[in-house]
């Protein structure tokens, strides 16, 4: 069983058509059967967006309520009919209260997740990593999904992202 492979390939082609050639990293991993079941539920979305939002030399990071020990970029999945940049702006606003403008695409990560008990069972997903800027830095955490958001002038050791820290412009 292969879930989401064709949709993930379509999403990758879409991003390349819209933004031109961009960095695509592939991450493959085996996960437990229970984690695989959760991944199957998330596979309907196929694309997840993340936003590297900068303002005055600082970056906005969040601690997700489901993984409160790490800091990561704000983001989430598109609603039906929503464009990826619209998703990015909405998710940042919903999670942090900060309005932003997308300034470009950093790159893409293609995830291939395998059930460790059944190696022929895979889920394919894509994460799109956008760059953004914001004139207003006032944070107001808006959702139960985020337990904290803050501006960092230096990325913390507990930062986790499948795309890593971007090179300076």
pLDDT of 165 reads 67
Structural contact between residues 98 and 60, judged by C-beta atoms closer than 8 angstroms: yes
Indicate whether 164 belongs to any domain: no
pLDDT of 118 reads 87
pLDDT of 51 reads 97
pLDDT of 46 reads 86
Domain that holds residue 14: 2-132+145-152
Indicate whether 139 belongs to any domain: no
What's the total number of domains in the chain? Answer: 1
Indicate whether 157 belongs to any domain: no
pTM of the model: 0.88
Q: What is the C-alpha separation between 7 and 16, in angstroms, rounded?
A: 14
Instruction: List Cβ<8 Å contacts ≥24 apart for 162-165.
Output: 162/25, 162/27, 162/109, 162/111, 162/127, 163/25, 163/50, 163/106, 163/107, 163/109, 163/127, 163/129
Residues of the chain with pLDDT under 70: 42-44, 163-169
Indicate whether 158 belongs to any domain: no
């Amino acid at each position: 069983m292969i879930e989401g492979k064709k949709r993930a390939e379509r999403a990758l082609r879409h991003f390349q058509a819209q933004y031109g050639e961009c960095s695509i990293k592939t991450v493959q991993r085996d996960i437990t059967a229970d984690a695989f079941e959760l991944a199957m539920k998330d596979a309907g979305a196929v694309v997840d967006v993340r936003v590297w939002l900068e303002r005055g030399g600082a970056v906005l990071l969040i601690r997700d309520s489901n993984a409160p020990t790490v800091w990561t970029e704000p983001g989430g999945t598109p609603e039906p009919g929503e464009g990826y940049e619209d998703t990015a702006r909405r998710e940042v606003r919903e999670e942090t209260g900060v309005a932003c403008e997308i300034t470009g695409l950093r790159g893409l990560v293609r995830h291939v997740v395998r059930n460790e008990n059944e190696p022929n069972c895979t889920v394919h997903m894509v994460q799109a990593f956008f760059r953004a800027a914001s004139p207003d830095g006032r944070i107001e955490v808006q959702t139960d999904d985020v337990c904290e958001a803050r501006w960092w002038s230096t990325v913390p050791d507990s930062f986790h992202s499948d795309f890593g820290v971007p090179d300076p412009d």
